[in-house]
Chains A and B, each alone.
Chain A
Amino acid sequence: MAAEHKLETAFASVIPEEGLAAFLSVTVSDAFADSWRLFTLPERALYDRLTQASKGVEKLTLRARAWFADRPLPFDSYVRHIHESIQQEPVLDGTNHAGQSILSEAFKRESAVADRWILALIRDPSQASFAADILRLLCRFRPRSADWRRTIVETALQSPSIEMRDAAIQAVESWADRELVCVLRGHDEPDRFLSDYAAQVLRDLDEG
């Protein structure tokens, strides 16, 4: 609790350098790791405040950055950040989106949890639109293994949501795995617009 108190004191400080110094004295404490979990500020917000407070103290800032780089956000924080980013800005094809880097980081740091979360999201019909946005963001990098990508596409193609199936076909188009071509070829798409799209994607991928 002493460490937690010191941390609070650090950020309540009106003198940035002093606040930072207090923070860093806490980070070297063995007790810090345990008390950290009790601290209520999300780590990202804390990081922002830290870097803001440490302007002009380059050496200490680098040390602080290194410290944060080793510590993942709790997965719920990633989910919250992704939700917020999509609420603030729609996911538009061809346009960078803040959710990309959050999702990428979530996969990098909490891959097993991210795997389960995304699969559950895609299976939840009440979240079809949000899940489709997530899948469209995933199309922009190449997450996990080919087997995992296949499971994601197969599951999304079975969705009753046209948005979700659309995102699934886009995933095949972007990831361009040979196994996914077979999955798409076996898909019987009821919507005319999407079936035309799927057929064109298959032609594109066949042509290499």
Chain B
Amino acid sequence: MSQFLARGVSAAKWKGRINIQRHEVPADGVGADLRSSNNALSFWLCDPTEQRSLEDVVLVLASTRDQVQRIDLIWLSADEVAGMSIGLERTLGATPVSSLNHKHIDLTGIDLSRLFRLAGSVAEAVEGNRIRRFTEKQVLEILANAVQQDLVLAKSLKPSVIEKIQRGSILPA
């Protein structure tokens, strides 16, 4: 079975399509979500047919955020990405969820033409059915469960995130 690569995006920036046609790739989405560093972009291996697998990606993304807010995930086929001559490099993720950091993967060697193709795939994922939005409450529950199960230490989360988990009475204050 093909592997999939997930990344958090801002769905509305891809769906907005101000002054462009439906089949065109919105620059607003690229500017918001595909800002590379070292010509690489961070993705996470996942199996989108498994709810738990998608929740794992939500957990690693939420664990590094400043605030608990909704998360939009898209996923692309690893084969499709490799077909764009983009490198797939397994690197350890830098999140407080140590048990999941091995699922991190860098897409490397992204030049403008590869970025264009990648952006096209992200746009297709958003318009198709390779996107899932987790609401603020769902993200909060995933984080709180992970803390309760010792998958992540509460003290490694940002103060406002800890506060929100505690305010939700999911964790003892």
B103 contacts the other chain (CB 8 A): no
A197 contacts the other chain (CB 8 A): yes
CB <8 Å contact, A173 and B70: yes
- Tally of chain B residues near chain A (CB < 8 A): 27
A173 to B65, CA, bound (A): 18
Specify which of A128, A166, A167, A173 is in contact with B136 (CB 8 Å cutoff): A173
CB <8 Å contact, B135 and A95: no
Specify which of B12, B65, B72 is in contact with A163 (CB 8 Å cutoff): B12
Given contacts A163-B13, A193-B11, is CB(A95)–CB(B136) below 8 Å?
Answer: no
CB <8 Å contact, A93 and B70: yes
| Most chain B CB inside 10 Å of its own CB: which residue of A163, A191, A196, A201 | A163
CB <8 Å contact, B31 and A96: no
A208 to B57, CA, bound (A): 25
Name the interface residues of A90-140: CB closer than 8 Å to any CB of B. Answer: 90, 92-96, 128-129, 132, 139-140
**Nearest neighbor of B160 in chain A, beta-carbon distance:** A96
B154 contacts the other chain (CB 8 A): no
Q: Is the interface of A mostly helix, strand, loop or mixed?
A: helix
CB <8 Å contact, B135 and A204: yes
A161 contacts the other chain (CB 8 A): yes
CB distance from B127 to the nearest CB of A (A): 9
Specify which of B11, B16, B62, B131 is in contact with A94 (CB 8 Å cutoff): B62
**Nearest neighbor of B12 in chain A, beta-carbon distance:** A166
Which size bracket describes the interface of A in this complex?
A: 20 to 34
**Nearest neighbor of B131 in chain A, beta-carbon distance:** A193
CB distance from A156 to the nearest CB of B (A): 12
Specify which of B18, B66, B69, B137 is in contact with A128 (CB 8 Å cutoff): B18
Given contacts A129-B28, A173-B136, A204-B137, is CB(A94)–CB(B67) below 8 Å?
Answer: yes
A197 to B69, CA, bound (A): 13
A174 contacts the other chain (CB 8 A): yes
CB <8 Å contact, A94 and B69: yes
Name the interface residues of B16-57: CB closer than 8 Å to any CB of A. Answer: 16-18, 28, 31-32
Listed by A's residue number, 26 A-B pairs whose Cβ atoms lie within 8 Å are: A90-B13, A90-B31, A93-B70, A93-B71, A93-B72, A94-B61, A94-B65, A94-B67, A94-B68, A95-B66, A96-B66, A96-B67, A161-B16, A162-B12, A162-B15, A162-B16, A166-B11, A166-B15, A170-B70, A173-B70, A193-B15, A193-B131, A193-B133, A196-B133, A197-B133, A201-B135
Give me the interface of B with A, judged by CB distance under 8 Å: 10-13, 15-18, 28, 31-32, 61-62, 65-72, 131, 133, 135-138
